Amino acid sequence: MRRRDLARLLPAVVVLAFVAFLPLGRVAWTSVHRSTVTGSNFNGVDNYVNLFTNSTWWLAVATTLVIVTFVVLVQMILGTVIGAALHRVAVLWPVTRVLVLAPLMLLSAVSVMTWRDAVSGGYLAEWFDLGEGGSVTGLVAVTVSETWRGTGLVAAVVAVALFAVPRSLSSATIADGATVLQRWRRVVLPAIAPAMAGVAMFRVFDTFRVIDGPLLAGHVDSELTTAPLLTWTTQFTAFEWGLGAAMSIIVLVVAAVLAAIIGPLFRVRRLL
């Protein structure tokens, strides 16, 4: 890379360092201290050791992973179907793209409270016999709310990606006698795979860090809590800032590992 190119990138690197790496470094530094309202002292990796031997923390991580896996999987399937349908009605695309993104523009607090009421004695509770409320229904509210909010984004990305698929390629597969399913498996999905990988990784990060949903769903004191919510209560209820910082680092690492796994899954030449 030439010096001129490096000079052009320097301002962006400086801004990125201040808005991302500097706060992250501060969190990492806090995580190796026992930091409370009474003072702060260096304790090395004791916070991490405590977390790795804490069953409540790993139950929260497992609960979060279940929510993320379900939410992202359903969003990718529904988003692809809806995106394909939107692609077929291209003349209405300027209107439909606003409609599908409307849930994402809505405040997550409103979304969670709406779905919480639906599963806690509302119509969803009656349909699926969920009972009057509790930890499980609270998690159901969080899961449904996040699925509802993010599916439109996936649909919009898929619809835009489909517009970029060359018509000549689709016409060639039709001329070869390929069925609709064969065209999707061997041509369309591999062509839009990079866009789907990007939106899938974004939804993993966005869903994994969600905290307002579990907080408003009303299961803060439950054993079925999530990792971000447990981090929040550790920092702002117990005021164990060092331990909470260690939790934040672990959440970031787990989310990064998930994203790193999802990316290569979409690097396919065709689906058999």
Domain that holds residue 146: 56-265
In a domain, residue 17? The reply is no
Report the number of distinct structural domains present in the chain: 1
User: Concatenated DSSP letters for 37-71?
Assistant: TTEEEE-TTHHHHHHHT-HHHHHHHHHHHHHHHHH
Distance CA 185, CA 177 (A): 14
Compute and round to an integer the Cα radius of gyration of the chain.
22
Give per-residue pLDDT as tens, 201-236.
888 888 887 765 555 555 444 555 788 888 888 888
In a domain, residue 88? The reply is yes
Provide the token pair at 17.
């360092």
Distance CA 134, CA 119 (A): 10
pLDDT at 270: 47
In a domain, residue 44? The reply is no
Provide the token pair at 244.
């909470």
Burial category of 43 from C-beta neighbours within 10 Å (exposed 0-12, middle 13-18, buried 19 and up): middle
Distance CA 143, CA 226 (A): 12
| pLDDT < 70: residue spans in the chain | 1-3, 5, 90-94, 97, 104, 107-109, 116-117, 119-138, 170, 174-177, 180, 211-224, 263, 266-272
DSSP character at residue 187: I
Give the residues across from 36 on adjacent strands: 39
CATH number at residue 216: 1.10.3720.10
Distance CA 221, CA 5 (A): 53
pLDDT at 138: 67
pLDDT at 1: 52
pLDDT at 48: 92
pLDDT at 107: 67
Distance CA 109, CA 216 (A): 7
Give the residues across from 40 on adjacent strands: 35
In a domain, residue 141? The reply is yes
User: Going by C-beta distance under 8 Å and a sequence separation of 6 or more, which residues neighbour residue 203?
Assistant: 71, 72, 75, 76, 150, 153, 154
pLDDT at 223: 53
pLDDT at 10: 79
Distance CA 251, CA 231 (A): 9
